Amino acid sequence: MKFRFLGTAAAEGIPALWCRCERCVRSRTLGGRAVRTRSQAIVDDTLLIDFPSDTYKHFLDNRLDLTAVTDCIITHSHSDHLYATDLSMLAPGFSHVQEGYHLSIFGTDKVGEKVLPAITAPERQNLAHFTEIHPFETFSAGKYTVTALPSIHDPNAGPVFYMIENPTEKNKNGQPKTILYAHDTHYFRDDVWEYFSSHKVHFDLVSLDCTNACLPLTYVGHMGLHENVLVRERMYACGFADEDTLFFCNHFSHNGISVVYDDFVLLAAKEGFSVSYDGMIVEF
Ligand SMILES: [Zn+2]
Ligand SMILES: [Zn+2]
Ligand SMILES: [Zn+2]
């Protein structure tokens, strides 16, 4: 499978729009991996995760073809994960797509409130469809089997995070290759851990919310490196991951301590984590 991080920042981006903080000034000067756009990822260049305003830039920078994307799963309605206005560009006159092209979009009711007005005009009805999903629901998105898991995040944004299984590719244990894309969320709810247990999951790639980087967490809704380590330890202990599982810290805020890529990559490596950057491709 091919997993590509397209955007790896929280809502304000790194550097943040107006910001003169030390991390943003350095990131602006360094460029390259220090610059992070808003959150998005893509699986095998066909299954898109989230649709922020930086989608336009991501598809240009990575020379990707948006008409190769048949399915889009959206984690929640915050602006760094969903900019529904650009979905309305999928319409005659704005886009010339191949005969039969269709985009299936999945998300909770809060996501639907933003997506549906952008896609329901009569001229768009054969091009895109929205399916409302609920926590602990498993559904098909193209060839992938996707499960939505409840996240501890702003309830007004209808937050879920996703487990993505590919039944057409098996790992060394003979199980479907499985990705956990855990953004945005706090340390997982008990019923999520119970779900992992009862379904005997095993993850091959895990991307964890690391908004705070090394800043101690004093609020509910995200994680930092310390919490990422706790998640991985529990996954190891319960058999949901092993030494072959690829772990990534992802989704960073400029407020995080030591968040600049060149600093954080060394600190995360000590804990056994890789650090995402915009455009990073992982094949596994
Ligand atoms: Zn976010
Ligand atoms: Zn800043
Ligand atoms: Zn959010």
Which residues fall inside 5 Å of ion ligand 1, going by CB? 10, 80, 184
Tokens of 172: 């060394």
For residue 122, pLDDT over 90 is answered with no
Pairing of strands 47-49, 71-73: parallel
Query: From the CA of 38, which ligand is nearest?
Result: 1
> Which pLDDT tens digit goes with each residue over 47-88?
999 999 999 999 999 999 999 999 999 999 999 999 999 999
272 Cα: distance to centroid of ligand 1 (angstroms)? 23
Q: Could you count the other beta carbons within 10 Å of the beta carbon of residue 166?
A: 20
Name the DSSP letter for residue 174: S
Which pLDDT band, with edges at 50, 70 and 90, does 255 fall under? very high
Residue 123: pLDDT over 90: no
CA of 212 to the centre of ligand 2 (A): 13
User: What average pLDDT does the segment 238-265 reach?
Assistant: 96
Residue 125 pLDDT > 90: no
**CB-based contact 6:57 (threshold 8 Å):** no
Q: Which residues are CB-neighbours of 92 under 8 A, at least 6 positions away? A: 123
If you measure from the C-alpha of residue 45 to the centroid of ligand 2, how many angstroms do you get, rounded to a whole number? Answer: 31
Bridge partners, 141 (sequence order)? 144
Instruction: Check residues 123 and 153 and name the one with the higher pLDDT.
Output: 153
The mean pLDDT of the chain is: 97
Q: What is the pLDDT of residues 228-251, one digit of tens each?
A: 999 999 999 999 999 999 999 999
Ligand 3 centre and the CA of 100: distance in Å? 33
Ligand closest to the CA atom of residue 159 = 3
Token pair for 124: 């768009």
170: Cβ–Cβ under 8 A, 6 or more apart, which residues? 176, 177
pLDDT attached to residue 124: 83
pLDDT digits (tens, 9 = 90+) for 137-157: 999 999 999 999 999 999 999
Distance 74 CA to ligand 3 centre (A): 11
Please name which ligand lies nearest the alpha carbon of 252: 1
- List CB contacts of 199: < 8 A, sequence separation 6 or more: none
Kindly give the distance from the C-alpha atom of residue 188 to the centroid of ligand 2, in angstroms, as a whole number.
28
162 Cα–ligand 3 center, Å:
14
Task: Give percent above pLDDT 70 in the chain.
Answer: 100
pLDDT at 93: 92
Can you list the domains of the chain with their CATH numbers? 2-283 (3.60.15.10)
Structural contact between residues 246 and 222, judged by C-beta atoms closer than 8 angstroms:
no
Q: What does the pLDDT read at residue 45?
A: 96
Q: What are phi and psi of 266, to 5 degrees?
A: -75, -40
**What is residue 237's predicted lDDT score, i.e. its pLDDT?**
98
pLDDT, average across residues 217-222: 94
pLDDT computed for residue 104 by the predictor: 98
Half-sphere exposure of 58 toward its Cβ, with a 13 Å CA cutoff? 27
270: which DSSP letter?
A: H
Q: In what order do the strands lie in the sheet with 160-170?
A: 138-141, 144-150, 160-170, 176-182, 205-209, 246-250, 274-275
Distance 159 CA to ligand 3 centre (A): 8
Distance 210 CA to ligand 3 centre (A): 12
Which of 260, 198, 187 lies closest to 222 in space, CA to CA? Answer: 187
* C-alpha 96 to ligand 3 mean position (Å): 32
The CA-atom distances, in angstroms, between 59 and each of 41, 68, 101, 282 are 11, 11, 18, 17
Distance 236 CA to ligand 2 centre (A): 35
Tell me the CA–centroid distance for residue 270 and ligand 3, in Å.
27
CB 231 within 8 A of CB 187: yes
What is the secondary structure of 180-204 as a DSSP string? EEE-S-SSPPHHHHHHHHHTT---S
pLDDT of amino acid 183:
96
- Segment 86-110 mean pLDDT: 96
